[in-house]
Chain A
């Protein structure tokens, strides 16, 4: 079987990569109701990824075999206005299909993204995911990441709702 290749996403990958992004967002929904996914998530994911593929401070990587996309990672470089180091590389979205999990694809794509972010000036790499996602916690902890920020959320509902 052909090897999985990790490469920058091209326009031909966008539909499939967007599907994976939507899967990831739905998976987030399993951890907290505040991650309930909108109906037109696929279309939004296409736009979101397309806007991240033109170079500059963001990029999208895919793990693919031929035309079939098995994994996607989106990342961007952000300024840290008050802190040193002053630039962080942020892995905002990352999903791989179950059939290629536990085969080191996750590690490879995160390593590739980290190198790329570093080359773009990032001195630290951060990853965002729901606090309840124990699998992601394990994945990143194993790779030397540690928890830095907690985001607490509270729904503000109108009286009577």
Chain B
């Protein structure tokens, strides 16, 4: 999400509105209640028949309840936005925001669940205990490397999809934007030298997904605050003990054993993906200029990219993307996660595999291409409404292809289902606003808007 407004003004509004509305989401019934007699159907005694049926076949909970469309936004608040380890209570506004986006863009009922957890095992036990109520789990804002272990173990143990947006979502949109950027600059994924600057959850996941999508592992290089990652780096045994995922990348990538700094890694590179630390001047013009001609530079830190896009272009970058909405090519998870879960829920997928994410990235890239690829249009934005059902349908199709779906549907059926669920969600919100049930924000009301 982005805005042209000054950060101070946005902070003031966020505080004022949050207090005014006392939260961003609430539960609204979806069945008619014509009189209190209806409760005999919706609740006791009638509901017992439904429970007995589900008791015999647990999966019927997806048919007879809202489980089919319900996910948890689960966090321990250990790494929230740029705020760090602020704890579960303070993470609640962020989780509510995520739930709002899920509902508005994906028609998904997402419940914010920040928990007091002492570690990986606590998070895992909680997620597993919640499974009977849910169609899926979105892990959110969990510190790295803990997030890798949590996702990995839950993907193994659970029969509903578990998604960590900071890993899979970010990796998916990076891949989508990269497909377009490579096409525009006449490159191929499997022949490109790709440098990822920053080795947190986003870039480790991106490197893994890019390699799975066909990028050469040997020609992929990760760089972190200690320099280029390679299998003989001094801290390699520490990584082995404390961050197995980064350790694995150190062994799998950088076959030419480049050592040193970001600039050493960028020599003759085709692509830079920076998700390191807010800039500017974290990446310098001299770094871009040692890359191949017309390189691709994704500078994704927020609120300030590692280098201003205009400076990257001046230094020779042909395509530049950032995480911000006020520059062209915003690489933003929001174009992916609502649609991914919509698609996964509609086919009742058991998991969201990496190949499903790759298919979604290809769909995003295809959408941009059909819209007209250019150096300022490499990835759809949130106003491209049609991209959401298209990605949802792709996810559903791919899940079926991989035998991960418990419900079948043709592309057109999935498209229609996603479209109608998403539109319904937005229509309900519009109606509530039109009827004044959701009031206008305080300052608009005061101005008589």
A interface vs B, CB < 8 Å?
23, 26-27, 30, 97-99
Residues of B within 8 A of A99 (CB): 231-232, 251
Check B247 for interface membership: any CB of A closer than 8 A.
yes
Whether B241 contacts A98 by the Cβ 8 Å rule is no
Whether A97 contacts B238 by the Cβ 8 Å rule is no
B249 nearest CB across to chain A (Å): 12
Check B202 for interface membership: any CB of A closer than 8 A.
no
For the complex, what is the distance from the CA of A145 to the CA of B402, rounded to whole Å? Answer: 44
Residues of B within 8 A of A26 (CB): 234, 237
5 inter-chain pairs at a CB distance below 8 angstroms, sorted by A residue, are: A27-B238, A27-B241, A98-B247, A98-B250, A99-B232
For the complex, what is the distance from the CA of A23 to the CA of B240, rounded to whole Å? Answer: 13
- What 4 pairs across the A-B complex have the smallest Cβ distances? A27-B237, A99-B231, A98-B231, A98-B236
B231 closest partner in A (C-beta) = A99
Residues of B within 8 A of A98 (CB): 231-232, 236-237, 240, 247, 250-251
B interface vs A, CB < 8 Å?
231-232, 234, 236-238, 240-241, 247, 250-251
Residues of A within 8 A of B236 (CB): 23, 98
Residues of A within 8 A of B238 (CB): 27, 30
B236 closest partner in A (C-beta) = A98
A26 closest partner in B (C-beta) = B237
A133 nearest CB across to chain B (Å): 9
B232 closest partner in A (C-beta) = A97
Assess A23 versus B251: contact at CB under 8 Å? Given A97-B231, A97-B232: no
B248 closest partner in A (C-beta) = A98
B73 nearest CB across to chain A (Å): 35
A27 closest partner in B (C-beta) = B237
B239 nearest CB across to chain A (Å): 9
For the complex, what is the distance from the CA of A27 to the CA of B240, rounded to whole Å? Answer: 10
Whether A30 contacts B231 by the Cβ 8 Å rule is no
Residues of B within 8 A of A97 (CB): 231-232
Whether B247 contacts A30 by the Cβ 8 Å rule is no
A100 closest partner in B (C-beta) = B231
A52 nearest CB across to chain B (Å): 22
Assess A30 versus B237: contact at CB under 8 Å? Given A97-B232, A99-B231: yes
A24 closest partner in B (C-beta) = B237
Counting chain B CB atoms within 10 Å of each CB, the highest count among A30, A98, A99 belongs to: A98
